[in-house]
């Protein structure tokens, strides 16, 4: 009790003939039977679908060596520029320049002998046939490092939106089962977290070859490719509160 409250209590005590009067703040009192019942249950649900990979990506590179770094840069740029020019005949294929670097080469006496440069281009398209034809054409001057197949952003968004509806139905179905099992009159959704992910149906195809290998354009035919499938999955974790 504070000093001012104690003084006030003493004054009131004298006024009412009491030795001491305690003044305490009022505290609310609730009956035990009126206490709220929290019957919260956590649960999860999932919806998934296997879809065909409709996007193809490939990386090609050129790696050259020259004692003259200027000539090396010229040859590297020439290979990349020719690849960009060739890609103009395939408007369905998007081509972008990738990593490019140059580093020195030393002999066993730690003397600089030459320079090695590497540059790459990346292809992306939903037209597998056109991409395969362009790859075959570019292999006359570049090496194919890898090919990947995946689900395009357009198809992924469409499938995920459809799975959202299916996921909600699955979640509500499970919530209804729990409501019935507990003999509740109903339930309220407390919270729900939704996540999306996918499992690639096949690993990337690797085509790395030795840089010294000579390839003639007439000897490379477009490859028949199959993109395989991926599984798109949408999951939900949440909780519900059962009504009495």
What residues does each domain of the chain span? Answer: 56-151+203-228
Which residues make beta-bridge pairs with 112?
106
Looking at residue 214, its pLDDT comes to: 40
pLDDT-derived band of residue 222, with 50, 70 and 90 as boundaries? Answer: confident
pLDDT-derived band of residue 12, with 50, 70 and 90 as boundaries? Answer: very low
> Stretch 202-227: mean pLDDT, rounded?
53
pLDDT-derived band of residue 215, with 50, 70 and 90 as boundaries? Answer: very low
> Stretch 43-52: mean pLDDT, rounded?
95
pLDDT per residue over 81-129, tens digit each? Answer: 999 999 999 999 999 999 999 999 999 999 999 999 999 999 999 999 9
Prediction pTM value: 0.70
Q: Which fold has domain 56-151+203-228?
A: Alpha-Beta Plaits (3.30.70)
Looking at per-residue pLDDT, the higher value among 136 and 22 belongs to 136
Pairwise CA distance, residues 91 & 199, whole Å: 30
11 pLDDT more than 90: no
Share of the chain above pLDDT 90, in %: 70
């Amino acid at each position: 009790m504070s000093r001012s409250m104690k003084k006030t209590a003493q004054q009131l005590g004298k006024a009412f003939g009491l030795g001491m009067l305690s003044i305490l703040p009022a505290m609310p009192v609730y009956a035990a039977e009126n206490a709220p019942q929290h019957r919260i249950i956590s649960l999860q649900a999932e919806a998934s679908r296997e879809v065909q990979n409709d996007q193809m990506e490939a990386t090609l590179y050129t790696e050259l060596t020259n004692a003259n770094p200027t000539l090396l840069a010229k040859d590297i740029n020439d290979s990349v520029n020719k690849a960009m020019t060739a890609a103009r005949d395939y408007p369905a294929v998007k081509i972008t320049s990738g990593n490019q670097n140059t580093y020195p080469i030393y002999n066993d006496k730690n003397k600089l002998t030459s320079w090695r440069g590497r540059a790459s281009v990346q292809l992306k398209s939903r037209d597998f046939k056109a991409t395969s034809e362009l790859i075959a054409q570019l292999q006359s001057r570049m090496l194919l490092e890898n090919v990947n197949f995946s689900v395009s952003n357009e198809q992924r968004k469409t499938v995920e939106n459809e799975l959202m509806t299916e996921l909600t139905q699955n979640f509500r179905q499970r919530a209804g089962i729990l409501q019935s099992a507990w003999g509740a009159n109903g339930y309220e959704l407390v919270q729900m977290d939704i996540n999306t992910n996918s499992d690639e149906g096949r690993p990337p195809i690797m085509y790395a070859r030795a840089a010294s290998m000579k390839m003639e354009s007439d000897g490379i035919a477009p490859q028949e490719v199959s993109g395989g499938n991926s599984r798109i999955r949408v999951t939900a974790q949440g909780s519900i509160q059962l009504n009495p």
